[in-house]
Amino acid sequence: MKHIKAGVIGGAGYTAGELIRLLVNHPNVQLDFVYSTSNAGNLICKVHQDLVGSLDLKFTGTVNPNVDVLFLCLGHGNSLKFLESNSVSKDTKIIDLGNDFRLEKDRKLGHREFIYGLPELQSETIKDAHCIANPGCFATAIQLALLPLANSGLLQNDVHVNAVTGATGAGTSLSATSHFPWRDNNYSYYKPFTHQHLGEISQSVKQLQNDFSSDILFMPYRGNFSRGIFATAYTKFEGSLEDAIRIYKSYFRKAKFTFVSEDTLHLKQVVNTNKCLIHLHKHHNKLLVTSIIDNLLKGASGQAIQNMNLMFGFDETTGLHLKSTYF
């Protein structure tokens, strides 16, 4: 059985914690190091307490530049700075979970070229990639809601999107809107129509439907729960519901984690899994698409492992057979 060594840069956040958990339990991976300047010398399980009894490794302040794969779990803008100031072997594959390399204009850094890592969009390209820009969480849910229509050239009008994310989407650093007394029993929008994930969403839509010129009107919300994204998108659609279901099932026929459900959806179906579930509803000439994911897994670390599996020739689902926290 093939084994690889993995390193993680920036190991203290929610996304890194989920990534470390997945790597520790992956049958083909040896976790070589987790780099954190603020926690160097401390046991990883002191920060990520779900790993007590599973991992005795300590955070380190030094980087092994020769691991097989390096995951970057840094704040947005810091992945570029890290790669510019640290020596990493040209043979080391890189998966960046930030937004530094997701857009076409930012894809190249020296000899490295980052491939956008949405498996449902371009799994064959990912298999041959050396560097991956992992998609954003909202971007993942919304793209999976829209790409089947774009692939059929059917996005001819404005698309209206509403999506709510859990508190873990804000990261571990406290802010005015992430303290428990503020978040509990509360609900609010932020960055209306200007969220940073719109760039990568539009880029992928136009990759499949080059003539798309309408607006994607995205309203993101903060929910008073810990994790998950519940997204709804609607646009004009002249076909029948049966036509839409056929289009979506055909597009996702080879997808390992994205499924079309006949039943209405709720978040607990996907929390703690790498799944995306899609539901379709037709109302007059509008098609409503619901898309749900776990923001930390399919929206971040689980998708990063999915990309790693593709890059190294492992079965795409290895290490990702996760049960939802349904009850």
The partner residues of 233 in beta bridges, in order of sequence, read 161, 289
- H-helix or E-strand containing 7? strand 4-9
- Token pair, residue 16, equals 């890194």
pLDDT of residue 172: 62
Tokens of 151: 């692939």
From the list 70, 128, 68, 137, the residue with the least C-alpha distance to 102 is 137
pTM of this prediction? 0.95
Q: Active-site residue among 73, 131, 137, 276?
A: 137
Q: What is the pLDDT of residue 177?
A: 79
Supply 189's token pair. 């929008």
For the segment 37-51, the average pLDDT, to the nearest whole number, is: 92
Task: For residue 137, indicate whether it is catalytic.
Answer: yes
The size of the chain, in residues, is 327
Residue 43 gets which letter from DSSP?
B
For 250: left if phi > 0, alpha if psi spans -120 to 50, otherwise beta; the answer is alpha
Q: Which residues pair with 9 in a beta bridge?
A: 35, 72
The string of pLDDT tens digits covering residues 49-81 is: 999 999 999 999 999 999 999 999 998 889 999
Domains of the chain: 4-134+298-312 (3.40.50.720), 137-295 (3.30.360.10)
